[in-house]
Amino acid sequence: MTTKEPFRKQVIIPMSQDNSNIVISCADKHIFNINRLLKSTKSNITADFIWSDGIGIIITTDQVASASDMNIMENYIKKSTNVNTNKTSAL
């Protein structure tokens, strides 16, 4: 996890460019589902948006994510449809 601004926190999920493009093409759906999963576990954080860079995707949240919150986000991305999990790794 990396922080860039004082009020924004980022979760980085390394993956191939092909997988990044798949995730970004439906980013609004993924944000909705990640927030639904976080809420169901009574987490206080909210995912704001997903963007891609050279190493994978970055999920920006409103608070620092705990290890369990990061696992929820990572597992959702890995299990989402059309993502090749052999090209996805965790940080």
Q: What is the rounded average pLDDT of the residues 59-71?
A: 88
Please tell me the predicted confidence (pLDDT) of residue 10. 84
Q: Where are the domains of the chain?
A: 2-87
CA 13 from chain center: how many Å? 6
Q: Write the pLDDT tens digit of every residue in 3-50.
A: 455 556 888 888 888 888 888 888 999 999 999 999 999 999 999 989
Question: pLDDT tens across 44-58, in order?
Answer: 999 998 999 888 899
Query: What's this model's pTM, rounded to 2 decimal places?
Result: 0.79
